[in-house]
Amino acid sequence: MPKRFLIAAIVLLVALAGVALWLDRSDLATLPLAAKSHATVAATAVSPGALYSAKFSDLQGNVQGLGQWDRKLLIVNFWATWCGPCKEEIPILVKIQEKFSGRDVQIVGIAVDSSLNVANYSRSIKINYPIFPDEVGAIAFSKRLGNRLGLLPHTVVIAPGGTVIYNKLGVVTEAELVDIIAKNAPI
């Protein structure tokens, strides 16, 4: 009887240690606080065709389609000038666009905001990627990508060909984007 108890105790300890080691390797314990507080977005059913056929007007009034970047790793960031967390991450996006300008990486910002607000803000911090202000269409498109409540900020990464590989509500970190780019946009 004591032998059986001992064996059971050892098996339990080994199992516990195994689970602990698995969790230790899974990066959960090392995620930065900001990343832990984000909300994941349910997988979207939007087809590549629907993604790339989306069109928005830029700050100069020119209509542009997302399809022009179908061979690039496309990072779509939904934001607004009235959204504090959005403003926290825009400098990160500017830095990423600059850092990876030689790679097939393209960031676009779709703003749930007026052209005037967006133009003033983008001038003040020198946004180096295309910005599309669209108070109505932006939210609708974000919702189609799984953002049920139309919350901001919302960032979606689309692999060349149109597969959504990353979909997040909340502020993105530089490390997250660098990791995604390293895995999906080789030099």
Partner 1 sequence: MSFRWWGLWKGSFFHCAFVLRAGLVVAVGFMALTAASTESDLLEPERAFQLSARFSDHKTVELNYKIADGYYLYRPRFKFAPEPTTSAKFGIARFSKGKMKQDPTFGWVETYRDSVSIFLPVAMLETHISRGQPLRLKITSQGCADAGICYPPFQQVVSLQYGSLALAFPEPAANIGTDRPVQSTAPQNAPTSSLSELLRKPK
Provide the binding-site residues for partner 1, judged by CB under 8 A: 2-3, 6, 9-10, 13, 16-17, 19-21, 23-24, 26, 28-29, 31, 34, 36-42, 80-88, 112, 139, 146-153, 169-171
Query: Chain-centre distance of CA 139, in angstroms?
Result: 16
Query: Chain-centre distance of CA 24, in angstroms?
Result: 25
Give whichever of 33 and 187 is closer to partner 1, judged by the CB atom.
33
Neighbours of 5 (CB within 10 A): 9
Give whichever of 99 and 143 is closer to partner 1, judged by the CB atom.
143
Say if residue 20 is exposed, middle or buried (CB neighbours under 10 Å; 0-12, 13-18, 19+): exposed
Give whichever of 107 and 145 is closer to partner 1, judged by the CB atom.
145
In the complex, the smallest distance separating the C-beta of residue 172 from partner 1, rounded to whole angstroms, is 10
Angle, in degrees to the nearest 10, between helices 84-99 and 174-184:
40
User: Left, alpha or beta for 168 (phi > 0: left; psi -120 to 50: alpha)?
Assistant: beta
In the complex, the smallest distance separating the C-beta of residue 17 from partner 1, rounded to whole angstroms, is 5
Give whichever of 66 and 89 is closer to partner 1, judged by the CB atom.
89
In the complex, the smallest distance separating the C-beta of residue 97 from partner 1, rounded to whole angstroms, is 20
